[in-house]
Amino acid sequence: MREIPDAGHREMVMEVLKEDFLGIPVAEAAKCVPRIDRPQAEFCAITIDNELRNAGFHCPPSLIHDLVAMQQLLVPAPDDALALALARAYVFWVHLDDTCGRSRSGVLDLFADIGTGPRPPGRHASRFSDYAELVFADLAGFCSPAFLGIYRSFIHEALTGVLLETECGTDRHRFLDTGYIRSRSGFCEAYATALQFVDPCMDFVENLAFWGAAMGQLVVFLNDINDVLSFYKEALDGRDFTVSSIYGESVRNGIPYRDAYRAKLDSGLRAQRRIIELAGPERTPHVENYLHGYWYWHLHVDRYGWGDLIPGLERIEI
């Protein structure tokens, strides 16, 4: 295990490891049958890397690799063009969050660049707005105009959450409604509704009853399980640990970090069970592949460092 810089954070991580909570993610990930179309994934990774470089972005190849792997596992696409459109969206929104999410002015600039209406007079297109429009335009070829409008709204709502998150870690942190902020950030609705591209039975507009019932639980699952599986990565960073939802709930409720961790894990598992209950026979294979793939992806990419915690974990290769 790599050295965690803060002694207090290191102790909290060790408490989780001593409780043997890691067996649950390993068991959930084992339910995934990983299928990756390597030629398609390589095509997507190379194309996105070239696009971002040409657009002036400095996106780590490791991030592109990991997010293309996420698309391959969670929302597999038989069509190379659709796979590229989905992978491009996954990569770009995470890259925006990683690079601009800590800066209030950076997020406000994103709103000005990727706005919902006409660009203000005198404000020119930026690399952010140009590439965001590429993301939207490519997805438009595979969905209805109505869904594209809905998807755009999900992106703007997520950016609102990212903006509010910039107040976390400040001296105003204790006054924030962190539950609300966490539910708005993370691009969860945009990531969840990528499922609508895998099969007609998952189409958002045509299956509003399912999405209306399941969306809240999908947001809980994606946020809670990401928080649970990010704890070591965040501890290595330091600042990310102190603004994480698990740490915040531990401090706010005056409970040990390991108890807040277990509560978050249990919440994500409850949401997963409920989503599967709601799916019905036709949707269940697609939904289970998505959910189990989410666990598997976190454990088997470099981004979260689980190879440090569980020696022998096989890295996803594309």
Residue 126 located in a structural domain: yes
Q: What domain count does the chain have?
A: 1
Residue 264 located in a structural domain: yes
Q: Can you tell me the distance from the alpha carbon of 194 to that of 32, in angstroms, rounded to the nearest whole number?
A: 18
Residue 255 located in a structural domain: yes
Q: The CATH number of the domain where 199 resides is what? A: 1.10.600.10
User: Which range marks the domain in which residue 71 is found?
Assistant: 7-309
For residue 232, give both structure tokens.
């070591």
Residue 299 located in a structural domain: yes
Residue 1 located in a structural domain: no
Give me the pLDDT at residue 175, please: 66
Give me the pLDDT at residue 37, please: 97
Residue 2 located in a structural domain: no
Give me the pLDDT at residue 207, please: 97
Instruction: Tell me the pTM.
Output: 0.91
Q: Can you tell me the distance from the alpha carbon of 218 to that of 274, in angstroms, rounded to the nearest whole number?
A: 9
Give me the pLDDT at residue 105, please: 74
The tens place of each residue's pLDDT in the chain, 318 residues long, gives 788 999 999 999 999 999 888 899 999 999 999 999 999 999 999 999 999 999 999 999 999 999 999 999 999 999 999 999 999 999 999 998 887 766 777 777 777 777 655 555 555 567 888 898 999 999 999 999 999 999 999 998 888 887 887 776 555 556 677 677 777 777 999 999 999 999 999 999 999 999 999 999 999 999 999 999 999 999 999 888 988 889 988 988 899 999 999 999 999 999 999 999 999 999 999 999 999 999 999 999 999 999 999 988 999 998
Residue 316 located in a structural domain: no
Decide: 96 and 127 in contact? Cβ < 8 Å.
no
